[in-house]
Amino acid sequence: MNSSRNGCIKDFVAVGDVDIKVIGADNQIIDTDIPARLLLQQLISKLSIPPFLLGLNWSSTERMSTQQVDILTSELEYYRRILTPVIMKIAKTFLTLRGYDDDVEVVWSSINLQDETELSKARLYNAQAEEIELRNKKTREEGGYADDGIYA
């Protein structure tokens, strides 16, 4: 090998099966997917941003939709904080020009979508339970059963 560095070519003789391999010449691609994913997961966890914002789908859709709701809610709250002083200024100017007291308050309805969803589910479940109870009561009355469940 030292002579090949100097430009000399030498032959060698061997007996039996000889395999000559050059390191890296067999075209094996090193698997970089797992280390790259681990690195991306660590970066995303340090940045505290959801992976779907970067086009990465690592979590379930339920978790992703929860994060999307959180982001949407915070965006809407941000816009409300920006718009509230502008709306108050316009309202105060309007009321002052009309000769009214300029005591103004901007009231926004709640935008916590997760709470609204849970309340809606609770109302649905209560309505379904009430419907089942009414159906059972009607069935008992038609079948001759009293309210206490004893056959009359």
Extract the tokens encoding 138.
């009607």
Instruction: Provide the 3-class DSSP secondary structure of residue 116.
Output: helix
Instruction: Please tell me the distance from the alpha carbon of residue 92 to that of residue 102, in angstroms, as a whole number.
Output: 5
Minimum mean pLDDT among 21-25, 90-94, 148-152: which range?
A: 148-152
pLDDT at 72 over 80: no
Domain check: are 71 and 103 in the same one?
yes
Helix (H, G, I), strand (E, B) or coil at 141: helix
Q: How confident is the model at residue 145 (pLDDT cuts 50, 70, 90)?
A: low
For all residues of the chain together, what is the average pLDDT?
78
pTM above 0.85, yes or no: no
CA-CA distance, 126 to 105, in Å (whole number)? 36
Residue 77 in contact with residue 111, Cβ under 8 Å? Answer: yes
Residue with tokens 């789908």: 57
Q: Could you give the CA distance from residue 76 to residue 112 in angstroms, rounded to a whole number?
A: 10
pLDDT at residue 152, as a whole number = 45
Residue 78 domain flag? yes
Same domain for 69 and 105? Answer: yes
Task: Tell me: do 61 and 83 sit in the same domain.
Answer: yes
Would you call 132 helix, strand, or coil by DSSP?
helix
Inform me whether the pLDDT recorded for 68 exceeds 80: no
pLDDT at 81: 92
**pLDDT per position as a tens digit, 38-47:** 888 888 777 7
> Do 76 and 99 belong together in one domain?
yes
Residue 2 lies in a domain: no
Residues 65 and 104 in one domain: yes
β-pair partners for 145? 151
Same structural domain for residues 61 and 100?
Answer: yes
**Predicted pLDDT at 2:** 66
CA dihedral sign of residues 59, 61, 62, 64: positive
Residue 63 has pLDDT above 70, yes or no: no
| Residue bearing the bigger pLDDT, 12 or 131 | 131
Domain containing 152: what range? 112-152
The residue ranking higher by pLDDT, 145 or 32, is 32
Measured between alpha carbons, how far is 112 from 74 in angstroms, rounded to an integer?
9
pLDDT confidence tier of residue 116, bands split at 50, 70 and 90: confident
Q: Do the domain assignments include residue 76?
A: yes
Q: Name the residue among 134, 140, 71, 82 with its Cα closest to residue 108.
A: 82
Domains of the chain: total: 2
Report the alpha-carbon distance of residue 46 to residue 37 in Å, rounded.
14
